[in-house]
Amino acid sequence: MSHTFKGGVHPNYMKAPEIPISVITPPPQVIIPMTQHIGAPCKPLVQVGDYVKMGQKIGENPAPVSAPVHASVSGKVVAVEPRPHPLGDMIMSVVIENDYQDTPCEDLAPLTEEQLKDSEAILERIREAGVVGMGGAMFPTAFKIRGGIGKVDKLIINGAECEPYLNGDHLTMLNYPEQLLKGIELVRIASCVDKAYYGIEKNKQDAIDLLNSLHPEKYGIEIVPEEVKYPQGAEKMQVNAVTGREVKPGGIPSGVGCNVVSTRTCYAIYQACYEGKPVIERIVTVAGSALKAPVNGLTRVGTPFGYLAEQCGGFVKPPRKIVLGGPMMGICATSFDAPNIKGTAGVLFFTEEEDKHVEHPTCIRCGKCITVCPMNLEPVFMYMYYSKGDFENMAKYHITDCFECGSCAFNCPARMPLTHAFKTAKLMFQAKQMKEKAKAEAEAAAAAAKEAKQ
């Protein structure tokens, strides 16, 4: 059986896993945003002047969909205020002046042998350690796993890492294979399933061989080699490639009995449970043609992008844009002062060579965008109705089912800004829905008030 999905593209992968992991010296000040996850933002637990230890919890929110944040260095809190966030806007952040002592906080002890076999104890630790989807989605992992218990019979670990440039997952497999297998085993136990399927693209054959040599079956894991194709790493594609099940438009993997957890998330879970270490660092690929010396850097959460660039020897050409994540699905950062967060797998400094912007593109009706869409959508028509602001037809062509993989834009010879348009269209739909909801609520409140008067 060929493990892949319909559609997709083959970009130039530009990967450099041969660059070994280097430890990025933490910056003089780290900026820890209170929002590093989907869900309720954390509230700061510290004040200006407080001394914090490395790994100390400095922000939390008791809401179920949230994840605490921790200090990535030890030192003095010098500001608690809104700072530029990598996803845009100014977000409440705790700024810590690094004392370069890395004095550890020992609030989280490693779990005991017994706890390492207990779903509830593992889930509690995942939450306390602030683990979120580190493939970029940043959904709180404990909540995700808990929601799947009893519904999910197939646990899939995402080892595709199909985005160009990014190497963090591949290097985690090569450098920490045993820890990674133990992390996956923990996710399997927490999910209450007997087996986990680890989908890895065949361009990481060295990692597949290494992991297989460690007898993954001992941990209840089967390695599933996958065809190399973008966007293999998207959750819906992983589900389809590994199980043959199809997540319908608007659906989620748990709707077809699957849960997908990323490689780096499993490794973070290993660290949280076996080492008592919260999420305070991750491997970040720092690359792009503007940069002097790309690195795969073990980087503390809260490291500003400008500082990261300095650690790579600075720029050889002026960067035109900073892309967070990979070039296909990544988003543009607007400030060098914004820091990396838990979900930042890559920071790419691109010049105009990579930024192939066309001033007034014209569609030539070639249909190449349709052939590659893994969601069976028709991007050419979606774009046409988006340009006209025609909500009815945008809905008819299922524009909200687009998950912004960028395959259509990549394959478009006219360089139509398809993905950007669909991102904007989805935001427009969201705004429209919120407006309609607010209107309906106001009308209901007015009707209730009128009835109360009578």
CA atoms of 291 and 367, how far apart (whole Å): 36
Asked if residue 5 binds ligand SF4 (CB under 6 A), the reply is no
- Which residues are CB-contacts of 55 (< 8 A; sequence separation ≥ 6)? 70, 71, 104, 105, 107, 108, 277, 278, 280
Q: Can you tell me which of 91, 207, 377, 421 binds ligand SF4, judged by CB under 6 A?
A: 377
Asked if residue 158 binds ligand SF4 (CB under 6 A), the reply is no
Stretch 345-364 residues interacting with ligand SF4 (CB under 6 A): 363-364
Asked if residue 180 binds ligand SF4 (CB under 6 A), the reply is no
User: Dihedrals φ, ψ of 83, to 5°?
Assistant: -135, 160
User: Computed from CA positions of residues 164, 66, 93, 71, in that sequence, does the dihedral angle turn out positive or negative?
Assistant: negative
Asked if residue 203 binds ligand SF4 (CB under 6 A), the reply is no
The least CB distance from residue 49 to ligand SF4, in Å, is: 48
Window of 120-128, 205-213, 255-263, 410-418 that interacts with ligand SF4 by CB under 6 A: 410-418
- Which residues are CB-contacts of 30 (< 8 A; sequence separation ≥ 6)? 71, 72, 73, 95, 96, 98, 300, 301, 302, 303, 339
The least CB distance from residue 54 to ligand SF4, in Å, is: 40
Asked if residue 255 binds ligand SF4 (CB under 6 A), the reply is no
Asked if residue 384 binds ligand SF4 (CB under 6 A), the reply is no
Amino acid letter, residue 364: I
**Alpha helices, DSSP H only, in 250-295?**
263-274
Query: How many other CB atoms are there within 10 angstroms of residue 116's CB atom?
Result: 17
The least CB distance from residue 256 to ligand SF4, in Å, is: 18
The least CB distance from residue 69 to ligand SF4, in Å, is: 31
Asked if residue 386 binds ligand SF4 (CB under 6 A), the reply is no
- Which residues are CB-contacts of 300 (< 8 A; sequence separation ≥ 6)? 24, 26, 27, 30, 72, 73, 280, 281
By the 8 A CB rule, do 245 and 239 touch? Answer: yes
Asked if residue 403 binds ligand SF4 (CB under 6 A), the reply is yes
Distance of CA 156 to the CA centre of its chain: 16
- Comparison of 158 and 271: residue with beta carbon closer to ligand SF4: 158
The least CB distance from residue 401 to ligand SF4, in Å, is: 7
- Comparison of 76 and 398: residue with beta carbon closer to ligand SF4: 398
Asked if residue 365 binds ligand SF4 (CB under 6 A), the reply is yes
Q: Is 89 helix (H, G, I), strand (E, B) or coil?
A: coil
Asked if residue 414 binds ligand SF4 (CB under 6 A), the reply is yes
List of residues contacting ligand SF4 (CB under 6 A)? 363-369, 372-373, 375, 377, 379-380, 383, 402-408, 412-414, 416, 418-419, 422
